[in-house]
Amino acid sequence: MDLARRLFMAQAARITAGAAFVPLASVAQAGINDQPPRRDGDAAKRYAMLIDLRQCIGCQACTVSCHIENEAPLGKFRTIVSQYEVENEETGDLAQFMLPRLCNHCDNPPCVPVCPVQATFQREDGIVVVDADRCVGCAYCVQACPYDARFINDRTQVADKCTFCAHRLEAGLLPACVESCVGGARIIGDIMDPDSQISRMIEEHRDELKVLQPDKNTVPHVFYLGMDERFIDRPQAAPGLWDVRDSAGAELGYEYGEH
């Protein structure tokens, strides 16, 4: 769809009488911290991502390409692959575990209702975005996200997060992280379309898929295949590289923050 047509349709949707009444009705109904109605985006779609951990080698190509595509400031990430070294205490065997992380574009996103100016909202297609021109940088959404998927962008001084590269999706491109994934571990698509690759994979692996922190009732829409349940919540792990200290106990540095 070309840009002019898309803009026209967005305008047409906005001026229909039904749409105009939605906010008023929702004001009357929405309790404090309830989800406000979704807006913008294609209501016929629901974008989601499936991450096949069996294919992930922890190369961080997604981290780098996302960083370049979305111009995140140094030390802040819209997506990153957490890496763990896991040792079997009985056998001493070592294994690596990779956990690519990004915004989960939850169906019940806790970051959306807290926003005091409605700058962060969920589109009809499920993508959670931030209107950077409206955001006041109060960081309430940063606190509300249980996945640490949001941050304040040091350059723009507003909330920043993964958007599933909505700008690329609209141009018919794949998100930067999906495009650059060497193992093809990241699959994005419309789960309302039964023929999409993601729908077929969800159908095939329905019982094996896991999401992060399901007890938070956020209904994440980033699904993990080959996920170890010990990493679903905050992992019981020693934070290895964080303790870079000299003999006096003073912190020597940190590889992300001190470029």
Partner 1 sequence: MNMESIEIIAPRYGIAWYPRAVEYFFLVALAYTSLWLALPGAVFGVNRWKPIARLALVGAVTTAIAAPVSLLADLHQPLRFWHFYAHFTPWSWMSIGSLILPVFVVLTIGLAWLVWREPMQDWRGERGIVGWVARVATLGHWDSPRWLIVLTGLGAFAASLGMALYTGYEIAVLKGRPLWHTDFLPVMFVATGLIGSVGMLLVLDRFSGMRAAELATAPQTPVVSPSRAVSRQLLGVLLVACILAGITAALWFAVGLTQADPSVAAALDSVKGNPDWRAMTFRAVATGGVLFLGVLALLMRPGIRGLGWVFGLLALHTAWMFRWAVLMNVQTVQRQTAGFSEYQLGMGSMGLLGIIGAFALWLTVLMLIEIFVPWRAALDGPSTVPVSKPSDGVPSHG
Q: Which is nearer to partner 1, 34 or 208 (CB)?
A: 34
Q: Which is nearer to partner 1, 45 or 101 (CB)?
A: 101
Contact 48, 222 (CB under 8 A): yes
CB of 202 to partner 1, least distance (A): 23
Spatial distance between the Cα atoms of 115 and 113, rounded to a whole number of angstroms: 6
Q: Which is nearer to partner 1, 201 or 232 (CB)?
A: 232
Contact 179, 112 (CB under 8 A): no
CB of 133 to partner 1, least distance (A): 9
By CB under 8 A, name the binding residues for partner 1: 27, 30-34, 36, 58, 60, 75-77, 80-90, 97, 101, 110, 113-119, 134-140, 142-148, 151-152, 157-158, 212-213, 216-217, 230, 234-242, 251, 254, 256-257
CB of 38 to partner 1, least distance (A): 14
**Most distant pair of Cα atoms in the chain: their distance:** 69
CB of 181 to partner 1, least distance (A): 17
Q: Token digits for 194?
A: 């039964």
Q: Which is nearer to partner 1, 184 or 240 (CB)?
A: 240
CB of 92 to partner 1, least distance (A): 10
Question: Which phi and psi (to 5°) does residue 61 adopt?
Answer: -60, -35
Spatial distance between the Cα atoms of 37 and 27, rounded to a whole number of angstroms: 10
Q: Which is nearer to partner 1, 204 or 243 (CB)?
A: 243
Which residue from 56, 258, 242, 47 is spatially nearest to 162, judged by alpha carbons? 47
